[in-house]
């Protein structure tokens, strides 16, 4: 093994080790939250099914989501480590740790100092806002976007242009937000490379020099769109986003812009002070803004103005600050809801690349402080280390406490309701947890709070049905299950609950009716068998043992 490979292996090993020190306690946690899709479809994730990953929607579920690389990673995951939740979490931590090393290598490649690169990698790994990415396995797509994205930029800076755009394609195959990699790469090559030294002559020289990059970028996007269309077909523009997930789709233009700026301000606040973290920012945790006089709106607007100003080609500034602004602005704009209303109003996992920007900024400032103090008195270097140790220590403590939130469903949804008390989804989910525990007074209290926020949320209406059914009021339970289907006709569990109610009443005609309605949606043999069973039951043709 040559010296360069030894260095690469050493840095990657150290970075992954740090990741396990931070998140090793999570490996035994169960599948939670959106991981239910992965748990239900694990049997489909094997290498014999690899061709279907690239021509099927994500998780093979009817949706407008296309992410083949994460599905391939699940198959490799099971091949190497088995199908237990532990194996999936180990794989998650490995990829997360790898990204810390890749950030280090990238910064070294663009002439950041050794200390700056090490500090940036450490802060990136330790930042608590990224804990959500490690704790939810299906959020691996956000990790892989960055993995292949950073590799793509590294390959391009080494002159391996074909390899770079193949990796850019892999980033897109991980998640559509991989588009940010193209924007970062092209902007850097055009305006920042060579220490940001730019004039008109140099600009046009660079423009000619990157004509292949522009061509390859659009060719890569074209190839990606061909695969995406083949996989989604008539679902390519399908978007099931509701007001609960993203209220910005349903508000006028000006309040939408103000609320978007508030979300950006919230993101900045979370990056600088990640004390309160939440898996959910659904309706109405972030209230729609109708006035410009809100602190978070001012913070969001100021942040955008500063980033844009720093990135202006004619602004003479240390290129390292420009790199930090670049890593912050383009990734954030893609998920900001400014240009395109996406599937949620906000999510902490979308701060993964912006947190790298923060890590870069802080590492540069810390390095300057250390060198400044060293020039005064070498003994003062120890003094400069204190704030860094305190920062990483605080981050580690917050990571540790946040990891504990994910030990089971109740802990997760209780912490979410505390962090997002105005979210209908958060309060409803905690109510559902209390229903599972048969703690009906607390369940009712949470469901009542959720009802005050948004009474027509289908999951909430359904949970009210369960509450009344399990507390002895089957008639009201029936009313709520019927209301659930009036709001969301494809809510399958409501059909099952209604069937159960009517079977207990001996009303087989209604039970058969709802069983048949469910079968019309699913076309599943199990549901067809249920219809046949109920018909036989109605006609008294089942043997006594079955009856």
Q: Report the percentage of the chain scoring pLDDT > 70.
A: 97
Listing DSSP states for 332-361 in one string gives HHHTSSSSS--S-S--GGGGHHHHHHHHHH
Give the list of residues 6+ apart from residue 18 with CB closer than 8 angstroms, or none: 97, 100, 122, 125, 126
User: 208 is written with which tokens?
Assistant: 């000619």
Q: CB-based contacts of 341: which residues, under 8 Å, 6+ apart? A: 241, 246, 248, 249
> Is the C-alpha dihedral spanning 350, 351, 352, 357 positive or negative?
positive
CB 60 within 8 A of CB 235: no
Phi, psi of 309 (to 5 degrees): -60, -45
The alpha-helical segments, DSSP class H, found in 136-292 are 140-157, 161-174, 179-187, 200-209, 211-232, 253-272
| H-run or E-run covering 240 | none
Most confident of 251-260, 383-392, 525-534: 251-260
pLDDT at 544 (0 to 100): 44
Residue boundaries of the structural domains of the chain: 3-401, 409-538
Asked, as a colleague might, if the bond just before 268 is cis with ω within 30 of 0, I would say no
pLDDT classification of 203: cutoffs 50, 70, 90: confident
CATH for 409-538 (3.50.50.60, 1.10.10.10, 3.60.10.10, 1.25.40.10):
1.25.40.10
What is the per-residue pLDDT across 434-490, written as a single tens digit (0 to 9) for each? 999 999 999 999 999 999 999 999 999 999 999 999 999 999 999 999 999 999 998
Using CA atoms, how far apart are residues 498 and 483, in angstroms rounded to an integer? 11
Residue 41 has pLDDT above 80, yes or no: no
pLDDT at 18: 96
Residue 143, classed as helix, strand or coil, is helix
Instruction: Judge contact between 531 and 513, C-beta under 8 A.
Output: no
Closest Cα to residue 362, out of 112, 180, 541? 112
pLDDT at 52: 86
pLDDT tens digits, residue range 79-104?
888 788 899 999 999 999 999 999 99
- Average pLDDT, integer, range 160-171: 96
**Average per-residue pLDDT for the chain:** 90
Contact 356, 130 (CB under 8 A): no
For residue 541, the model assigns a pLDDT of 63
- Condensed to tens digits (0 to 9), the pLDDT of residues 409-446 reads 999 999 999 999 999 999 999 999 999 999 999 999 99
Average pLDDT over residues 52-57: 87
Tokens at 387, concatenated: 């704030």
Q: Which residues, 6 or more positions from 179, have their beta carbon under 8 angstroms from its beta carbon?
A: 172, 221, 334
Mean pLDDT of 355-383: 85
């Amino acid at each position: 093994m040559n010296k360069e490979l030894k260095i690469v292996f050493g840095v990657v090993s150290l970075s992954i080790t740090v990741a396990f020190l931070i998140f090793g306690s999570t490996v035994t946690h169960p599948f939670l939250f959106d991981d239910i899709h992965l748990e239900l479809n694990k049997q489909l994730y094997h290498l014999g099914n690899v061709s279907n990953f690239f021509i099927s929607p994500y998780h093979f579920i009817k949706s407008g989501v296309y992410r083949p690389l994460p599905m391939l990673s699940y198959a490799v995951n099971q091949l190497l480590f088995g199908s237990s939740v532990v194996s999936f979490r180990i794989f998650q931590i490995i990829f997360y740790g790898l990204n810390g090393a890749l950030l280090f290598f990238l910064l070294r490649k663009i002439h950041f100092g050794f200390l700056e690169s090490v500090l940036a990698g450490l802060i990136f790994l330790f930042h608590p806002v990224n804990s959500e990415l490690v704790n939810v396995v299906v959020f691996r797509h956000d990790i892989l976007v960055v993995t292949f994205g950073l590799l793509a930029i590294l390959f391009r800076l080494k002159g391996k242009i074909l390899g770079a755009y193949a990796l850019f394609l892999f980033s897109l195959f991980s998640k559509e937000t991989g588009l940010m990699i193209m924007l970062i790469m092209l902007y850097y090559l055009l305006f920042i490379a060579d220490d940001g030294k730019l004039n008109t002559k140099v600009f046009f020289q660079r423009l000619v020099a990157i004509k292949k990059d522009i061509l390859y970028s659009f060719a890569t996007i074209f190839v990606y769109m061909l695969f995406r269309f083949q996989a989604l077909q008539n679902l390519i523009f399908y978007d099931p986003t509701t007001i609960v997930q993203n209220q910005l789709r349903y508000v006028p233009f000006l309040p939408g812009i103000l609320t978007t700026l508030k979300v950006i301000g919230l993101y900045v606040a979370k990056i600088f002070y990640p004390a309160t973290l939440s898996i959910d920012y659904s309706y109405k945790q972030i209230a729609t803004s109708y006035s410009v006089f809100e602190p978070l709106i001012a913070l969001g607007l100021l942040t955008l103005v500063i980033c844009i100003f720093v990135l202006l080609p004619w602004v003479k500034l240390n290129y390292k600050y420009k790199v930090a602004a670049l890593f912050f602005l383009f990734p954030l704009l893609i998920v900001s809801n400014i240009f395109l209303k996406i599937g949620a109003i906000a999510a902490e996992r979308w701060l993964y690349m912006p947190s790298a920007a923060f890590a870069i900024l802080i590492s540069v400032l810390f390095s300057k402080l250390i060198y400044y103090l060293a020039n005064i008195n070498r003994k003062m270097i120890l003094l400069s280390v204190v704030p860094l140790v305190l920062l990483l220590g605080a981050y580690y403590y917050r990571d540790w406490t946040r990891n504990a939130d994910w030990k089971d469903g109740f802990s997760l949804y209780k912490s979410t309701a505390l962090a997002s008390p105005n979210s209908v989804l958060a309060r409803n989910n905690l109510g559902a947890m209390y229903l599972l525990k048969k703690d009906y007074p607390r369940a009712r209290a949470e469901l009542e709070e959720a009802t005050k926020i948004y009474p027509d949320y289908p999951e909430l209406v359904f949970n009210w049905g369960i509450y009344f059914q399990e507390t002895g009021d089957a008639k009201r339970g029936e009313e709520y299950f019927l209301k659930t289907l009036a709001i969301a006709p494809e809510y399958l569990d409501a059909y099952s609950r209604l069937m159960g109610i009517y079977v207990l009443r001996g009303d087989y005609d209604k039970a058969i009716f709802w069983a048949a309605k469910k079968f019309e949606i699913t076309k599943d043999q199990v549901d067809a068998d249920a219809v046949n069973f109920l018909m036989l039951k109605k006609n008294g043709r089942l043997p006594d043992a079955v009856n």
